[in-house]
Amino acid sequence: MIGLLAMTLPTRAADWPCFRGPDHDGISKETGWSVTWPAEGPKKLWKAKVGIGFASLAVRAGRVYTTGNLKDNDVVFCFDANTGVEVWQYSYPAKLDPKYYEGGPSATPTVDGDRVFTFSKRGVIHCLDAAKGTVIWSKNLMDELKAKMPTWGFAGSVLIEGDLAIVNLGTAGAALNKNTGKVVWSSGDEEAGYATAVPCAVGGQRAVALVIRQDVVALGVKDGKELWRFPWKTEYDVNAADPILAGSKVFISSGYNHGGGVFEVSTQPATKLWENKNMRNHFNSCVLWQGHLYGVDDNQLRCLDFNTGEVKWTEKSVGKGSLILADGKLIVLSEKGELMVADASPTAFKPMARAQVLGGKCWTTPVLANGKIYCRNAAGDVVGVDVSGK
């Protein structure tokens, strides 16, 4: 039997310490935030420039962390969450690597206790002091493990599971001791997928579900042993969206006109329950709420029935945007920087609040934490807006 594990990461209820949030599902537990905005939109608390890239933001203990690329250096930034004042930055040489898009880092920082973990497009992992930005340890995993870099660089964020830091590198992932950086287990040297590992349980043991180059697999956390697998081949081997787990069912979706499907994995080989082209997640993952999937189908927002894959509604204004969910509401950032809030309903998409908060290309997932929404565009403009209602 497979199911999402309750994470033991010690966070405040409203913090968002890693990609897709504390439960790794794009859903915030925050309640009581305001959807009553003035005509000009929610108050902008601060703006900052962090360089080119697509990393989202991590929020922990009053700090915001993200990364960008400035003049062929990746820069990790730490800001005061309320004021935007820069607390520290740490940089290291890293090529921009544009390839049919702007380039820059794709992985979101992961905050675990007093440490921050980052993962570069070329396989360099850093463990930094969260308060000061000093290096605790770092290593070039691509060189150490002789792993091939995928076409668009490594993109999955670091997942902390107990004492392990797990990354999507090599044939089917690798795990390091989070305290020392020592490799605990690794897979082959094939190109990786672009998704982040998601914690789960298989047969009572701790595991991670990982979308790799041409498959979806579950691996034992302790030793990386494969527990189940089903094929998922996408054009150009771009499997970027994280898997979504519901009991013994797994939803997976990819772009390039591949589509999505739900698979039953309690027995092997896995059973395909449905597969169609109604939800094609190019890079941003869906959220699952009360039996329905909400996500970006190529260049439009959609709602699907989780059990059947049937389209419930389509909203074309969002483009290649992104979304998270909180308190039963969708928080959507359109590709052109419009922030919208709507009830997560299979009946229709009806925004109750909307405001233009950014310009440029916005492919990065917004974040809600402690009464503030943070958004970022490809050029590296970050904005924090007040939705506390105070």
**Per-residue pLDDT tens digits for 219-264:** 999 999 999 999 999 999 999 999 999 999 999 999 999 999 999 9
What would the mean pLDDT of 300-304 be, rounded to a whole number?
A: 98
Structure tokens at 218: 């579950």
Spatial distance between the Cα atoms of 324 and 332, rounded to a whole number of angstroms = 7
pLDDT of 29-74, one tens digit each? 999 999 999 999 999 999 999 999 999 999 999 999 999 999 999 9
* DSSP E strands, 122-197: 124-129, 135-140, 159-161, 164-167, 174-177, 183-186
Structure tokens at 54: 């697509």
Q: Is the pLDDT of residue 153 over 70?
A: yes
Residue type, 98: P
pLDDT recorded at residue 7: 35
pLDDT of 172-189, one tens digit each? 999 999 999 999 999 999
| Helix H or strand E encompassing 144 | helix 141-145
**Is 297 in contact with 279 (CB distance < 8 Å)?**
yes
Residue type, 259: G
Give how many domains the chain has, as a whole number.
Answer: 1
| Mean pLDDT for the chain overall | 95
What would the mean pLDDT of 250-279 be, rounded to a whole number?
A: 97
**Dihedral sign (CA 180, 13, 376, 364):** positive
Structure tokens at 77: 């930034």
Domain around 345: 2-7+15-386
**Is 315 in contact with 349 (CB distance < 8 Å)?**
yes
pLDDT recorded at residue 390: 83
Which candidate, 388, 390, 348, 387, places its Cα nearest to that of 41? 387
**Is 161 in contact with 206 (CB distance < 8 Å)?**
yes
Look up the CATH number of the domain holding residue 176: 2.130.10.10
What predicted TM-score, i.e. pTM, was given to this entire model? 0.95
Spatial distance between the Cα atoms of 91 and 30, rounded to a whole number of angstroms = 32
Query: pLDDT confidence of 169, banded at 50, 70, 90?
Result: very high
Q: Is the pLDDT of residue 5 over 80?
A: no
% of the chain beyond a pLDDT of 90 = 96
